[in-house]
Amino acid sequence: AQSVTQLGSHVSVSEGALVLLRCNYSSSVPPYLFWYVQYPNQGLQLLLKYTSAATLVKGINGFEAEFKKSETSFHLTKPSAHMSDAAEYFCAVSEKETSYDKVIFGPGTSLSVIP
């Protein structure tokens, strides 16, 4: 069965500093991997996804993630944090069930940005 771990339930960075949110997955087949962001009192919004094309994936709001098969990792980065980046971030892996797309979500990392 596939699973996702996110190291650090809470990460704090200063405004303008590098953002690094860690994600490791386990999968027996080539995975589809996702990062979602959730702002307070809102649903989940797709930031980016990996679908076995380029290993470096660029997403919205200046975020990117790199797929490293040897490390089974899919860490999310942003060169310079902005106050508006404060949110909950979820890494996810999907697997194909017979008739639907099952997505396994990590527990989430709460990002705080300090002015």
Contacts with another protein by CB under 8 A lie at 32, 34, 36, 41-46, 49, 51, 90, 94-103, 105-108
Minimum CB–partner distance for residue 52 and another protein (Å): 9
DSSP reduced 3-state for 17:
coil
Minimum CB–partner distance for residue 107 and another protein (Å): 5
Tell me whether residue 4 or residue 81 sits nearer to another protein (CB atom): 4
User: What CA dihedral angle connects 24, 92, 5 and 79, to 10 degrees?
Assistant: 60
CB neighbourhood size of 53 (10 A): 7
Minimum CB–partner distance for residue 115 and another protein (Å): 26
Report the C-alpha gap between 62 and 56 in whole angstroms.
Answer: 13
